[in-house]
Amino acid sequence: MKVIIDATPFDPWRVLDEYQKKMPQLDGQYGATAVFVGTMRDFNEGDGVSEMFLEHYPGMTERHLENICKQATGEYQLMESLVVHRVGAIKPNDPIVLVAVWTAHRKQAFEACREIMEDLKSKAPFWKKEQLDDGQDRWVEKNTKGY
């Protein structure tokens, strides 16, 4: 299980590949990997968005993400989990978040990946400030429904 708060742009597929290669306990054992990647859009609430700043509460963020992963590990028998989340200045198309889980079977993988993502969105202390195309900026005060 690993949680990374990253202040620089990351390539989720490379991070995923490198992490999995370092996990010998997965070798020959896992039957499913579920991955979610969240990416910045260039619009929100009907406005063009040119950039975003992601703030977090250092310490509390890591603690809550670790707790979320621990809970999912128990509930879905995860063999491994990885969460990477950006902070700082972000541009459209930049990956914001990566959630990956490894399990024996697909049901647990799909459900755990989704549950970690939904818990992250409701509990982990991150906040987005959008820079709009017209030069204004604003805090995002609520998450989009998303599904």
Q: Provide the 10 A C-beta neighbour count for residue 103.
A: 25
The answer to the question of residue 143 lying near another protein (CB under 8 A) is yes
Q: From the CB of residue 79, how many other CB atoms can be counted at a distance below 10 Å?
A: 21
Contact between 122 and another protein per CB under 8 A: yes
d(CA 116, CA 68): 6
> With contacts defined by CB under 8 A, how many residues of the chain interact with another protein?
28
The contact pattern for another protein, residues 21-60, with x = CB under 8 A and - = no contact, is -----------------x---------------xxxx-xx
Q: What angle do CA 56, 93, 42 make, to 5 degrees?
A: 85
CA of 44: how far to CAs of 60, 105, 126, 139, in Å? Answer: 27, 36, 17, 12
Residue 128 Cβ, how far from another protein at the closest point, in Å? 5
Q: Which CB sits closer to another protein, 79 or 97?
A: 97
Nearer to another protein, 69 or 96 (CB): 96
When binding is defined by CB under 8 A, the residue of 79, 97, 112, 113 that contacts another protein is 97
Helix H segments across the chain? 12-21, 60-76, 106-123
The footprint of another protein (CB under 8 A) covers 38, 54-57, 59-60, 63-64, 85, 96-97, 117, 120-129, 139-143
